Amino acid sequence: MTTLSISDWVGIANLGVASIAMYLGWLAAKVARKTLKEADDDWKQRKWYELYFAAGFAYDLLDRYRKVYPVHPVSTQKTRDDWNELMMHVRACHTMSVVFPKNRVIDDLHEATNFSIPDHAYDDGRFKKLGDAVEGLRQTALLHPSVLG
């Protein structure tokens, strides 16, 4: 039977410490990957929420415009200002939405807010389509249940 020298025992101890360090490094990488995925998911959900919020605001402005001016309005400074405010918010939605992945909700948003003339504001089909697009964005932007728990 051979006996181990002190340097052998030191080598065995170093091997044990290195094994533990390697396991802890693997564990840290696993935690980091999970944290990165959660941060990425959170960022995506926030972007969908921001688009939902902007589209909802444009929908509310259109609804207000249609109620304040139930028929084709006479062109006054006030009607032009209200129209321009509505169009600025619609354009903000378009600016945000064109960087999102192409999907039916984004297409519906664009089709519903393609106001080439003010008369399009009174198209009930467009108005409903915009409402449906806002609802689609709301569904996409819903908080993940784990956030609420």
Blockwise average pLDDT, block size 10, the chain, 149 residues: 84 93 95 91 88 95 92 85 93 92 91 85 92 93 72
Asked whether residue 27 is domain-assigned, the answer is no
Q: Determine the pLDDT at residue 146.
A: 67
Asked whether residue 20 is domain-assigned, the answer is no
Domain membership of residue 62 as a residue range: 40-148
Asked whether residue 5 is domain-assigned, the answer is no
Q: Determine the pLDDT at residue 65.
A: 93
Q: Report H helices in the chain.
A: 6-68, 77-97, 104-112, 124-141, 145-148
Asked whether residue 71 is domain-assigned, the answer is yes
Q: How far apart are CA 19 and CA 25, in angstroms?
A: 10
Q: Determine the pLDDT at residue 149.
A: 64
Q: How far apart are CA 60 and CA 44, in angstroms?
A: 24
Length of the chain: 149
The model's pTM is: 0.75
How many structural domains comprise the chain?
1
Q: How far apart are CA 115 and CA 91, in angstroms?
A: 10
Asked whether residue 29 is domain-assigned, the answer is no
Asked whether residue 84 is domain-assigned, the answer is yes
Asked whether residue 7 is domain-assigned, the answer is no
Token representation of residue 26? 């693997």
Asked whether residue 47 is domain-assigned, the answer is yes
Q: How far apart are CA 116 and CA 101, in angstroms?
A: 24
